């Protein structure tokens, strides 16, 4: 088990206030900016899906080899909510966040970062599983 970091992933949640209405109601532009944000952060885009709501608002997800980016926009509130979840050391989720601050022309950005998949918890359950397996084998041996 190779868990050298404290956690498997970094999850950055960004709320963008005071965005430019015309930008965040434009489905094509939002999709383009999200793909560019993934590129800019160094991620490899695998698949993506975007949906334009009636009368307004875009929701989308970009699956990257290193996890995902998502966006939801509320043009009526000049507001957009973005998530960038990355694993490994090669992609910096904050670069994607910075890229979108500029592109969405946000006046205020609130960013929260959370670790995902804490290594010590993963190890604890892996150890437990190995112990269970060993006990089962020993029980089978003694029964045989």
Pick one of 42, 65, 88, 105: the residue that binds its own copies (CB under 8 A): 65
Is residue 27 at the binding interface for its own copies, with CB under 8 A as the rule? no
What are 71's two structure tokens? 């966006």
Q: Is 142 a known active-site residue?
A: no
Tell whether residue 75 is a contact of its own copies (CB under 8 A): no
Distance CA 1, CA 86 (A): 19
How many angstroms separate the Cα of 77 from the Cα of each of 16, 21, 35, 52, 56?
10, 8, 24, 16, 11
* Least spacing, CB of residue 141 vs its own copies, in Å: 23
CB 20 within 8 A of CB 80: no
Q: Pick the closer one to its own copies by CB: 29 or 59.
A: 59
Query: What would the two tokens of residue 58 be?
Result: 């875009």
Shortest Å, Cβ 114 to its own copies = 6
Regarding 28 and contact with its own copies (CB under 8 A), the answer is: no
Q: Catalytic pick from 52, 72, 81, 142?
A: 72
Where is 16: in which H helix or E strand?
strand 7-17
Contact call for residue 9 and its own copies (CB under 8 A): yes
Binder among 10, 60, 97, 104 for its own copies (CB under 8 A)? 60
Beta-sheet strand order (sheet of 108-118)? 45-52, 58-64, 67-74, 79-87, 7-17, 108-118
Q: CA 15, 20, 25, 30 torsion: positive or negative?
A: negative
Q: Which residues are catalytic?
A: 67, 72, 87
Task: List interacting residues with its own copies (CB under 8 A).
Answer: 1, 3, 8-9, 11, 13, 15, 17-18, 46-49, 51, 53, 59-61, 63, 65, 67-68, 70, 72, 74, 76-79, 81, 83, 85, 87, 107-108, 110, 112, 114, 116-118, 121-122, 124-126, 128-129
């Amino acid at each position: 088990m190779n868990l050298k970091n404290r956690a498997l992933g970094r999850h950055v949640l960004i709320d963008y206030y005071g965005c430019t209405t015309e930008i965040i109601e434009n489905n094509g532009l939002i999709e383009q900016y999200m793909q560019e944000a993934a590129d800019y952060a160094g991620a490899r885009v695998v698949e993506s899906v975007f949906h334009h709501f009636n009368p307004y608002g875009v929701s989308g997800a970009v699956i990257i080899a290193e996890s995902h980016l998502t966006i939801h926009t509320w043009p009526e509130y000049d507001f957009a909510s973005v998530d960038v979840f990355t694993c490994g050391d090669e992609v910096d989720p904050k670069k994607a966040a910075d890229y979108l601050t500029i592109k969405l022309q946000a006046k205020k950005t609130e960013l929260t970062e959370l670790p995902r998949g804490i290594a010590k918890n993963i190890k604890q359950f892996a150890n437990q599983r190995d112990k269970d397996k060993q006990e089962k084998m020993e029980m089978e041996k003694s029964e045989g």
